[in-house]
Chain A
């Protein structure tokens, strides 16, 4: 498989504060981006997605920002709660040989301090 970092970057946030998790993607041809949340011992859980023709999309307490110029994606979580503690992955999706391949980033561990 492809090599990725062995050590997850960690973001510690006080409960009630806003969290911002950043991600740099590599493929300028990617046309769809997704944020996943993965709690310990579970599979990734879909949070929010955004297409490449948009630069912002809002969900419930979450906002995704896309900057295609610098190939940067961010996830903002408002009023962070202890239940938000997890590893967050950004993923990019683009056509590759006739199918849609999803490539995951390294992940960021979010720790919410009560």
Chain B
């Protein structure tokens, strides 16, 4: 186990709704990265937070947003959900170069 936890484990939403996913990083890790993993594909980088600031973003629209809290836990928010947002959402925490992943949240958009 990596010590990275995510909630909820599974979630079903309908198109147009909003969703918030949560991640608790491994103790002492000040950097959290979020990834989207569609079925049969590798994780795609969404964005990264370092000490409560977004310091990098992948090719995802602004309706994907996030937060990092003083205890380094993090949230991923997705507005105006689309069917293609159905995926496994992974967070990874790190202190140095190696990222440690949580189990993910499986999101299904109907």
Binding site for B on A (CB under 8 A): 1-2, 4-8, 32, 34, 36, 41-46, 49, 89, 93, 96-107
What is the minimal beta-carbon distance from A83 to any residue of chain B, in angstroms? 16
User: B interface, how many residues as a size bin?
Assistant: 20 to 34
By a CB distance below 8 angstroms, the chain A residues around B98 are 34, 46, 49
CB within 8 A of A46: which of B59, B100, B103?
Answer: B100
By a CB distance below 8 angstroms, the chain B residues around A102 are 33, 45, 99
B33 near A43 with CB under 8 A, answer: no
Complex formed: what's the CA distance from A68 to B48 in Å?
Answer: 27
B103 near A43 with CB under 8 A, answer: yes
Complex formed: what's the CA distance from A52 to B29 in Å?
Answer: 24
A100 near B40 with CB under 8 A, answer: no
For B35, B45, B48, B90, the residue with the greatest tally of chain A CB atoms inside 10 Å of its CB is B45
What is the minimal beta-carbon distance from B90 to any residue of chain A, in angstroms? 5
Binding site for A on B (CB under 8 A): 2, 4, 33, 35-36, 38, 40-45, 48, 50, 55-56, 58-60, 90, 92, 97-104
**4 nearest interchain CB pairs?**
A99-B56, A104-B42, A43-B101, A1-B44
B43 near A44 with CB under 8 A, answer: yes
Q: Could you write out 21 A-B pairs with CB less than 8 Å apart?
A: A1-B44, A1-B59, A4-B42, A4-B44, A34-B98, A41-B103, A42-B103, A43-B104, A44-B92, A45-B2, A46-B99, A46-B100, A46-B101, A49-B97, A98-B55, A99-B48, A99-B50, A100-B56, A101-B56, A102-B45, A106-B42
Which chain A residue lies CB-closest to B106?
Answer: A41
Complex formed: what's the CA distance from A101 to B4 in Å?
Answer: 19
A6 near B101 with CB under 8 A, answer: no
A2 near B56 with CB under 8 A, answer: no
